[in-house]
């Protein structure tokens, strides 16, 4: 069948940035991709998508991992009348070997469009477009090769994390180890949706939060430390004389709590007032490092706007030591999930749930003590639900 | 747990990452001392042992053919023992223990059309979503807008000359799969018309109570249209979020004429200096203009330029605006401040200026 | 009749601070006050008040100015079975002459308890306690002497203001002149409740806000300026050498926008970024003064918690010249009152009303342009009510 | 406007203030240059003309007998031509054009029991309300608590040795007539039991729809009790605000055992340095203990002492706490942080800590 004409899409082959159109065309030997090109060109002409509301498809025994997709132009583009997405759980930190990549490519070449997202926004390997009949064969081959599906629907979503200790000097705990551990522990929660709504976990090794955990995860695990920042004064002096950095203005002057003093010779940090924001360390990586007493802060509740408005995660546990097998965090997860599953409304994220029942009540229910670190300030309104003893 | 026959493998989870780590990482795992960023796209991490790891970061369109993945694999074999990774913003990173191979690798990647950059105070890949390529909710395409934007912002990917990182994100509907709500520059596709209700199909396809419950503003009411149980929408109460469509296929939002794109600024995720912040509305609406969305590209370029010209070192977009104040931001960018910019949802009042702290002298 | 025994209250005659009990006893020749003492002692014993829910009483043709009060122990304390409060509109700035005070005392001695509050929390002279039958006579004598009642109920409440230009070098407009003018202009709105709820006006001459306008008035008029702060460098130098003030730390270091530079000799202010907070001026009154282009910022909506939670006023007009007869402000008031009276719910303060209908809509309705000064930041949520043209 | 017979005087408004201004003020109105604060309670305002005005500020209990007002009048005649004023915080100020009379005036006022002070970085009079003296809503007395507090805080009224002004306010119920919501230290009397409904009188005395509407949490439902139209309260939903009682006499709140006092800190009104702030909860409940409320007095004294010891010059209570952080505040004061301290009303979520900015090292 002759290659389709795609004048509009062709415009997007131009320019220095790698082109997704070129990518699609690279796989255009697949008839599916031919029709995808045609349908997409049509969308570009008409300024409207041609996918219908997703239907429920999946692999046996799993409730998630596949996003069903059908088009509304089956006559014109029959090859993509079914064009489902498969979410494959990525290796922690998105590390691969060439061999691993080839294995995945071979499976996907045989059973799908050959198009992927590396990676989906939650972190999965996304296999973009196949038929219902291919789902079981793909699943069999994936598990054979040691891979499994990721999450979708009202389940625990595929956890993800930054490179952490694999490559970063600032990692305050083993983000990849932790992510692998929770993913394995909660395979059932990941594959069989049983929550009121989705629940995402993201693990960042330090407060720079390179996986946007605070904005995108129902549970955000953010590495931090409890003791003093490690300072190498000699190295500080080098930065001072290096001419690239104005320590007074750019480092001390930008410390959020103004807890850095710099007299031109020695850098003094009032660690009591340091909020572990990372800025000074970021600015002088050779001179400063997080302290030695490391762990993580656990925050909960981030989500996009739907329904009650977007939320960032908020502090649940100000500091916790991160030691395998992370039993305390698992207990916390179990307690939260139990409460939320029982009392959460349909499609109510845990962040919205907490606001509805009140953080104080939530903490009481899951048996966590209330500490002032959880809030920016105590209540200002006098509507207190006093409980008379 | 799983009720499957024993022979069928399930719930095995992802492969263990250790299998994929290069020796230099295995040996120095958790023992890194510091890093340097000698040029855009190249990171050198130095371990306490003295060992060094070079990471070379190349752009990807995220949507990739297996042909490209195989190409990456071949390149990895040739330059770094087959070890590579992808980043949280969809770039690819090749992991070298031999610094001598860095330049040749870069040359090769550039030649293949996967330019190197995106580190440091620069603009890296745009986190984005499916758009017309795969989603039913999309108010615009994702990949096309991103490609057009990155072509225009490309110099900032290759150089590290901005005051700080500028994180750009795109989402094709208010579900915000791109989590655009905390980006320096967020490009968000929007619907602007209430759902069109298909009273024929609705009774069969939608659960009415949950559809009614789905509306954040309570604009949906149960209704009976010629005998059929369906719903109606109080149009003045609709702000086009599309959540009804998510739960009910018979309430479609997409509209070629009125869908388009909004632009938001000043969000951040890191805790560095300022706490994480949401993005705030800069431009309520620009038209959907495929294939290259010129209006959107212009607007974003302009925002980056004004920021680059005025912000101080280490100041993220939102930190810069806080220093100069929003009135000045709108003056410098020449963007109109409209009724749409004032919040009117749940916590709107929290964004009102409740003091006399006003930059009275910056009228000019 | 013998003086009552008030052992508990007597405890409050001790100590250095002037005693309200002594005050009550000073007027104890009045039988009313005798019973008040008795009833109050009883409240102190029982830890509960003995006043019943206020009933509607007043003077002919007025809907406000009197707070009806009856006790729940008419048998024990018949003299205070009726004990109404009269709110008398204070002179602007609370200035008096001895003669004026005596006039008020004479009226109150004849027709009431002889107890007062100087002043009520809204600003009125409060005559504390009299009978219904005394209301008309008191009113006649007050008007005769040139006084009138203040507000109560759902009306414009008695406006009040700081001493302003009468005594303060920082007053950016004539607070007392303005307050007198609005009070006189809106006598009908003050005396005949016709709003959804109360509406308070407070005028402060500068951002120090010595009448707490931003917290306690539905319309808060706060003096400010548009040009540069006036600096007398010589006087600054005196403060620098005076030894009392550390200009770098206490002045520049506390400027909210850090827009002050101090090199030990000259003080430089980046007025573009000055938010007119007053701090530097407060700290060096002899050296600094507000600019010459003076006026006020108009804020709306402050209130106590009932019903939706406490509010501070928010910016409605960032800057306005304050010139008699203040027609632009009157037009603004009229426009706001009209809209609020028509669409406000019963007992909905204007601050709550604005939040309910949306500030953008409110501005459109009253014909004010939207400016970014009105908000701390533009919206973060994407729920935009687009209006297609 | 007024439908009154012509002869009866109405709507004349207050007398014009000019009649009451001393000559020195008339002459220098709007022409003041600067002021000094030579000692607590004395202000000297100097006009551009060189003219000087001495203001001597004396304490009052606010609740005053006409005998006292006449005494003030006499003193004013004797020392300053009969000119005086009251302040926005209910102190009295004598206005002198002759500086020589300041000390004798002070001596006289002290002798009469109206001490001089309250200016500068000090504690001035406590804004307060009616309490058991005149209001039906009161959860405590006002004047008695204020008297007890000011006796204890008195040294701070006479000296100017605090880091900054400390504004203390009192209100006897959640209506907050004292506008305690923005004070450095706010003392707020609270009810802690749901309204007791009198089903006999309610139908006659209350409008049921407006009573139902009055409840911020929707805890009130219409109900029929033996045939009578009345209301019922879902007790778990009641947070004791008393707004139902304000509109409905048959729903009484006062309770001798459980009413008491809460303490709030860190509010401010001025724009100086920090924008105005609400007060935040420090102590949820202390018992009503007339005649001198020792627990409340102790708590407030303690708060002032800890503040005085730790805050820097010009730092108001709330600014100081922001600098050191709330966890440290609770440590320094030894006050327990409880569930009650976490907001759970409308905008509660806005007060959650939505970042990793935590003073991890200040555990000790
Ligand atoms: C594939 C992906 C976008 C992408 O191109 O990467 C995606 C695609 C969809 N998302 Fe998403 N979401 C994806 C990451 C996200 C994220 C970002 C994240 O996880 O970090 C968010 C924002 C964070 C959050 O969870 O709040 C996100 C917030 C949503 C929402 C709004 C949820 C909310 O509570 O606000 C919906 C609507 C819903 O859940 O019904 C949604 C729904 C959807 C659906 C299933 C459409 C729908 O209404 O059912 C989309 C399917 C598109 C398709 O046909 O392929 N998607 N979605 C991402 C998952 C790939 C992966 O597994 O790695
Ligand atoms: C590779 C990656 C993590 C991963 O596991 O994939 C990564 C890696 C590094 N990040 Fe990051 N960050 C990565 C995503 C992020 C994100 C997440 C995002 O953008 O969605 C953030 C939060 C962004 C935000 O705040 O909106 C992020 C905020 C930072 C910061 C804080 C910057 C700031 O001033 O706010 C630093 C510190 C710095 O740059 O000095 C940092 C620093 C670093 C360092 C220097 C850490 C290290 O020593 O290895 C790494 C190289 C930085 C660089 O690229 O300049 N990384 N970094 C991600 C690369 C994405 C990409 O392809 O460009
Ligand atoms: C007398 C006074 C307290 C005082 O001792 O000074 C007072 C006394 C009462 N106030 Fe008030 N309010 C007084 C100033 C205030 C203030 C402060 C202010 O005006 O600056 C406020 C807070 C600011 C505000 O307006 O929000 C205030 C907020 C309230 C409220 C709550 C209104 C709200 O929207 O939150 C109520 C309840 C109501 O309006 O039904 C109320 C109601 C009352 C009532 C009428 C009781 C009632 O529920 O009907 C009280 C009568 C007590 C009595 O028997 O004498 N009072 N009231 C003040 C008026 C004196 C004067 O005219 O000068
Ligand atoms: C007389 C009075 C106005 C009136 O018309 O009655 C007044 C008079 C002055 N105030 Fe005030 N303020 C008065 C109530 C207020 C209030 C309102 C309140 O407390 O309810 C405030 C807001 C308080 C708050 O923020 O919570 C107030 C916040 C200020 C400030 C800002 C202080 C700060 O740093 O936040 C200044 C500037 C200063 O003190 O340096 C100030 C300065 C002044 C000056 C120096 C202005 C001047 O040059 O005349 C006056 C003497 C100050 C002093 O007492 O130390 N005045 N001042 C009020 C005296 C009350 C009293 O009897 O003690
Ligand atoms: S989040 Fe911290 S530890 Fe993880 S990669 Fe980023 S900087 Fe390193
Ligand atoms: S980490 Fe942040 S808060 Fe701590 S000292 Fe460095 S800059 Fe300051
Ligand atoms: S943002 Fe909306 S349109 Fe885009 S992928 Fe997510 S759900 Fe689909
Ligand atoms: S689009 Fe959103 S606001 Fe409009 S009806 Fe649907 S759910 Fe409600
Ligand atoms: S508000 Fe300003 S002008 Fe008025 S008295 Fe206070 S300081 Fe002076
Ligand atoms: S008035 Fe306030 S903002 Fe302006 S310069 Fe002085 S201290 Fe800074
Ligand atoms: S605060 Fe409450 S009790 Fe006190 S006077 Fe006001 S309404 Fe009455
Ligand atoms: S006290 Fe307040 S919360 Fe309780 S029922 Fe009455 S109005 Fe509702």
- Condensed to tens digits (0 to 9), the pLDDT of residues D75-94 reads 999 999 999 999 999 999 99
A309 shares contact with chain C (CB less than 8 Å) = yes
pLDDT band at A1; cut points 50, 70, 90 = very low
pLDDT band at D1; cut points 50, 70, 90 = very low
Task: Find out whether B343 and B280 touch, Cβ atoms under 8 Å.
Answer: no
Residue among D147, D174, D245 minimizing CB distance to C19: D147
- Condensed to tens digits (0 to 9), the pLDDT of residues C209-235 reads 999 999 999 999 999 999 999 999 999
Q: Which residues contact D7 (CB under 8 A, 6 or more apart)?
A: none
| Pairwise CB contact (< 8 Å): B113 & A18 | yes
**Ligand 8 atom, smallest distance to B237 CA:** 3
Strand, helix or coil for residue D352:
strand
Q: Is the CB of residue D87 below 6 angstroms from any atom belonging to ligand 4?
A: yes
Backbone conformation region of residue C30, classed left if phi is above 0, alpha if psi is from -120 to 50, else beta: beta
Q: Is the CB of residue C198 below 6 angstroms from any atom belonging to ligand 10?
A: no
pLDDT score at A4? 81
CB-defined site of ligand 1, < 6 Å: A 54, 67, 69, 85, 87, 117, 119-124, 126, 150, 158, 198, 200, 216, 303-306, 349; B 129-130, 134-135, 137, 175-177, 179, 246
User: Could you say which DSSP state residue B16 is in?
Assistant: P
Mean pLDDT of chain D: 96
Best CA proximity match to C303, nearest among C364, C212, C210:
C212
Mean pLDDT of chain A: 97
User: Is residue D335 pLDDT above 50, yes or no?
Assistant: yes
| Cα–Cα distance, A152 to A158 (Å, whole number) | 8
C310 shares contact with chain A (CB less than 8 Å) = yes
Mean pLDDT of D265-270: 98
CA distances for A137 relative to A153, B307, C279, angstroms? 22, 51, 73
Mean pLDDT of A292-309: 96
Distance B135 CA to ligand 7 centre (A): 6
User: Is residue C2 pLDDT above 70, yes or no?
Assistant: no
Task: Residue D111: count other Cβ atoms within 10 Å of its Cβ.
Answer: 8
Place of tokens 């705990």: A173
Q: Tell me which residue has its CA closest to atom 8 in ligand 1.
A: B177
| Cα–Cα distance, B336 to D51 (Å, whole number) | 50
What kind and span of H or E run contains C131?
none
Contacts of C309 in chain D (CB under 8 A): 216, 345-347
User: Is residue A95 pLDDT above 90, yes or no?
Assistant: yes
Task: Find out whether C33 and C114 touch, Cβ atoms under 8 Å.
Answer: yes
The angle formed by the CA atoms of residues D35, D278 and A382, to the nearest 5 degrees, is 140
C317 shares contact with chain B (CB less than 8 Å) = no
Residue among A98, A285, A305 minimizing CB distance to B34: A285
Distance C129 CA to ligand 3 centre (A): 16
Complete DSSP assignment for C198-223: -B-EEEESSTT-TT-HHHH-SEEEEE
Q: Which residues contact C56 (CB under 8 A, 6 or more apart)?
A: C68
What kind and span of H or E run contains D65?
strand D63-65
Contacts of C305 in chain A (CB under 8 A): 381-383
- Condensed to tens digits (0 to 9), the pLDDT of residues B68-79 reads 999 999 999 999
pLDDT score at C55? 80
Q: Is the CB of residue C288 below 6 angstroms from any atom belonging to ligand 4?
A: no
Task: Find out whether D65 and C24 touch, Cβ atoms under 8 Å.
Answer: yes
Test site for ligand 9: of C160, C161, C162, most ligand atoms within 8 A of the Cβ: C162
User: Is residue B364 pLDDT above 60, yes or no?
Assistant: no
pLDDT band at B329; cut points 50, 70, 90 = very high
Chains that touch B (3 or more CB pairs under 8 A): A, C, D
Mean pLDDT of B158-185: 96
Interface test mutation site (partner C, options B259, B353, B364, max chain C beta carbons within 10 A):
B353
Residue among C11, C98, C118 minimizing CB distance to D77: C98
Ligand nearest to the CA of A269: 6
| Pairwise CB contact (< 8 Å): D276 & B355 | yes
User: Is residue D178 pLDDT above 90, yes or no?
Assistant: no
Distance A165 CA to ligand 5 centre (A): 8
pLDDT score at D363? 56
| Pairwise CB contact (< 8 Å): A272 & D327 | no
C162 shares contact with chain D (CB less than 8 Å) = yes
Backbone conformation region of residue B359, classed left if phi is above 0, alpha if psi is from -120 to 50, else beta: beta
pLDDT band at D195; cut points 50, 70, 90 = very high
Mean pLDDT of chain C: 97
pLDDT band at B6; cut points 50, 70, 90 = low
Q: Which residues contact A244 (CB under 8 A, 6 or more apart)?
A: none
Q: Is the CB of residue B242 below 6 angstroms from any atom belonging to ligand 8?
A: yes
A387 shares contact with chain C (CB less than 8 Å) = no
Residue among B279, B285, B363 minimizing CB distance to C386: B285
User: Is residue D364 pLDDT above 50, yes or no?
Assistant: no
| Cα–Cα distance, D241 to D210 (Å, whole number) | 16
pLDDT band at A54; cut points 50, 70, 90 = confident
Q: Which residue of A has its CA nearest to B178?
A: A121
Task: Find out whether A86 and A135 touch, Cβ atoms under 8 Å.
Answer: yes
Q: How far is A169 from chain D (nearest CA, A)?
A: 19
pLDDT score at D362? 78
Interface test mutation site (partner D, options C62, C98, C345, max chain D beta carbons within 10 A):
C98
Q: Token digits for B165?
A: 């990182």
Dmax over Cα atoms in chain D, in whole Å? 78
Q: How far is C184 from chain B (nearest CA, A)?
A: 27
pLDDT score at C1? 44
Distance B54 CA to ligand 3 centre (A): 70
Classify burial at D7, counting beta carbons within 10 Å of its beta carbon; exposed 0-12, middle 13-18, buried 19 or more.
exposed
Q: Tell me which residue has its CA closest to atom 12 in ligand 1.
A: B177
Q: Is the CB of residue B198 below 6 angstroms from any atom belonging to ligand 7?
A: no
pLDDT score at B363? 56
Chains that touch C (3 or more CB pairs under 8 A): A, B, D
Q: Tell me which residue has its CA closest to atom 7 in ligand 12.
A: D215
Mean pLDDT of D99-126: 98
- Condensed to tens digits (0 to 9), the pLDDT of residues A319-361 reads 999 999 999 999 999 999 999 999 999 999 999 999 999 999 9
User: Is residue B2 pLDDT above 50, yes or no?
Assistant: no
| Pairwise CB contact (< 8 Å): B30 & A165 | yes
Task: Find out whether C305 and A383 touch, Cβ atoms under 8 Å.
Answer: yes
Distance C208 CA to ligand 4 centre (A): 7
What is the value of ipTM here, to two decimals? 0.97
| Pairwise CB contact (< 8 Å): D357 & A370 | no
C383 shares contact with chain A (CB less than 8 Å) = yes
- Condensed to tens digits (0 to 9), the pLDDT of residues D28-42 reads 999 999 999 999 999
D307 shares contact with chain A (CB less than 8 Å) = no
pLDDT score at D6? 53
């Amino acid at each position: 069948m002759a290659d389709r004409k795609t004048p509009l899409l062709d415009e997007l082959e131009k320019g220095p940035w790698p082109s997704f159109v070129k990518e699609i065309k690279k796989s255009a030997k697949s008839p599916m991709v031919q029709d995808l090109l045609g349908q997409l060109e049509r969308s570009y002409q008409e300024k409207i998508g041609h996918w219908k509301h997703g239907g429920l498809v999946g692999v046996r025994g799993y409730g998630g991992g596949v996003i069903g997709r059908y088009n509304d132009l089956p006559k014109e583009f029959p090859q993509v009348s079914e064009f489902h997405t498969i979410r494959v759980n990525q290796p922690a930190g998105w590390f691969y070997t060439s061999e691993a990549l080839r294995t995945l490519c071979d499976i996907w070449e045989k059973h799908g469009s050959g198009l992927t997202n590396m990676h989906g926004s939650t972190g999965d390997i996304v296999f973009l477009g196949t038929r219902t009949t291919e789902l079981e064969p793909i699943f069999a081959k994936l598990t054979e090769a040691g891979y499994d599906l990721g999450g979708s629907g009202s389940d625990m979503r595929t956890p993800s994390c930054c490179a952490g200790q694999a490559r970063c000097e600032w990692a305050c705990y083993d983000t990849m180890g932790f992510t692998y551990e929770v993913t394995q522990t909660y395979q059932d929660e990941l594959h069989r949706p049983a929550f009121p709504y989705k629940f995402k976990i993201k693990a960042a090794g330090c407060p720079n939060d390179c996986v946007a955990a605070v904005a995108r995860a129902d549970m955000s695990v953010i590495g931090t430390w409890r003791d003093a920042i490690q300072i190498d004064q000699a190295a500080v002096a080098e930065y001072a004389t290096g001419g690239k950095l104005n320590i007074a203005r750019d480092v001390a002057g930008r410390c959020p709590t103004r807890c850095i003093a710099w007299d031109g010779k020695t850098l003094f940090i009032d660690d009591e007032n340091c909020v572990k924001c990372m800025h000074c360390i970021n600015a002088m990586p050779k001179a400063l490092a997080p302290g030695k007493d490391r762990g993580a802060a656990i925050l909960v509740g981030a989500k996009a706007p739907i329904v009650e408005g977007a939320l960032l995660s908020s502090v649940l546990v100000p500091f916790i030591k991160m030691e395998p097998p992370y039993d305390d965090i698992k207990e916390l997860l179990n307690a939260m999930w139990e409460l939320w599953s029982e009392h959460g409304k349909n499609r109510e994220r845990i962040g919205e749930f907490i606001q509805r029942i009140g953080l104080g009540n939530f903490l009481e229910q899951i048996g966590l003590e209330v500490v002032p670190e959880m809030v920016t300030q105590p209540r200002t309104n006098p509507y207190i639900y006093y409980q008379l003893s | 747990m799983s009720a499957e026959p024993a022979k069928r493998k399930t719930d095995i989870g992802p492969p263990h990452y250790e299998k994929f780590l290069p020796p230099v990482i295995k040996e120095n795992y958790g023992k890194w001392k510091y890093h340097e960023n000698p040029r855009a796209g190249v990171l050198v991490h130095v371990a306490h042992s003295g060992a060094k790891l070079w990471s070379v970061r190349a752009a990807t369109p995220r949507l990739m053919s297996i042909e490209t993945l195989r190409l990456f694999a071949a390149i990895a074999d040739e330059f770094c023992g087959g070890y590579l990774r992808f980043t949280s913003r969809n770039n690819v990173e090749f992991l070298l223990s031999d610094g001598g191979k860095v330049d040749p690798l870069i040359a090769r990647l550039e030649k293949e059309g996967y330019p190197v950059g995106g580190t440091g105070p620069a603009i890296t890949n745009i986190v984005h979503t499916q758009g017309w390529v795969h989603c039913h909710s999309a108010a615009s395409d994702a990949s096309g807008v991103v490609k057009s934007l990155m072509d225009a912002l490309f110099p900032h990917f290759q150089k590290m000359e901005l005051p700080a990182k500028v994180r750009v994100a795109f989402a094709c509907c208010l579900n915000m799969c791109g989590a655009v709500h905390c980006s320096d520059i967020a490009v968000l596709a929007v619907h602007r018309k209430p759902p069109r209700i298909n009273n024929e199909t609705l009774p069969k396809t939608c659960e009415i109570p949950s559809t009614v419950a789905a509306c954040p503003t309570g604009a949906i009411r149960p209704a009976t249209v010629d005998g059929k149980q369906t719903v109606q929408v109080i149009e003045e109460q609709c702000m086009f979020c599309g959540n009804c469509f998510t739960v009910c296929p018979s309430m479609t939002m997409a509209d070629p004429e009125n869908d388009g794109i909004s632009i938001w600024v000043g969000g951040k995720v890191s805790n560095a200096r300022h706490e994480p912040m949401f993005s705030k509305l800069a431009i309520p609406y620009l038209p959907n203009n495929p294939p290259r969305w010129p209006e959107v590209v212009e607007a974003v370029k302009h925002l980056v330029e004004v920021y680059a010209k005025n912000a101080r070192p280490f100041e993220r977009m939102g930190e810069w605006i806080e220093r100069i104040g929003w009135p000045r931001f709108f003056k410098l960018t020449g963007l109109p401040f409209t009724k749409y910019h004032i919040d009117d949802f749940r916590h709107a009042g929290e964004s009102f200026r409740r003091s006399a702290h006003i930059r009275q002298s910056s009228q000019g």
